[in-house]
Amino acid sequence: MTLVDHARAVRENAHAPYSRFKVGAALRTTSGAVFTGCNVENVAYPEGTCAEAGAIAAMVAGGFTAIAEMAVVSDSETPVTPCGGCRQKLAEFAAPNVPVTLATLDGATLETTVGELLPGVFAKDHMSRT
């Protein structure tokens, strides 16, 4: 099963009663483990939490901290990129050259990298003087 397949499958579990916009994400760690996440909305936070953040949280809870690749699937005309907060989270756990596949339910895909998604990333090296 590909990462896109994993993301497509977990997308069905999304809880999106306000936006009705379901997103699924799957990542593979550098050791080969796969983790998934889907968006979750609630009345107090209708914009909810992102699928990518959910997959990253599951990875960290599983004891892993390095992403080798990621996929995100949504039902849209064109592939949807992760939000700014999720791009920063990706950059925390993935090198700039890590591939990210963005896909739609119709099969359209966009291949990119973490570095292309977040140029000029804020990194821990910026705090070297503190």
Per-residue pLDDT tens digits for 108-125: 999 999 999 998 887 777
Q: Kindly tell me if the per-residue pLDDT of 79 is higher than 80.
A: yes
For 21-72, what is each residue's pLDDT tens digit? Answer: 999 999 999 999 999 999 999 877 777 789 999 999 999 999 999 999 999 9
Q: Mark residue 117 as left, alpha or beta (left: phi above 0; alpha: psi -120 to 50; beta: remaining).
A: alpha
- Residues serving a catalytic function are 52
Cβ atoms within 10 Å of 123's Cβ, excluding its own: 12
- Known binder of ligand: residue 40? yes
pLDDT at position 122 = 77
- Known binder of ligand: residue 41? yes
Angstrom CA distances, 119 to 82, 85, 89, stand at 14, 13, 13
- Altogether, the residues listed in the chain come to a count of 130
Q: Kindly tell me if the per-residue pLDDT of 89 is higher than 80.
A: yes
Average pLDDT in the 72-97 region?
Answer: 95
Is 86 strand, coil or helix? helix
Q: How far apart (Å, rounded) are the C-alpha atoms in residues 113 and 97?
A: 6
Instruction: Kindly list the structural domains of the chain, giving each domain's residue range(s) and its CATH number in brackets, ordered by start.
Output: 3-127 (3.40.140.10)
pLDDT at position 47 = 72
- Known binder of ligand: residue 83? yes
Q: How far apart (Å, rounded) are the C-alpha atoms in residues 35 and 39?
A: 14
pLDDT at position 1 = 95
DSSP per residue over 1-57, as a string? --HHHHHHHHHTT-B-TTT---EEEEEEETTS-EEEEE-EEETTEEEEE-HHHHHHH
Q: How far apart (Å, rounded) are the C-alpha atoms in residues 9 and 11?
A: 5
- Known binder of ligand: residue 86? yes
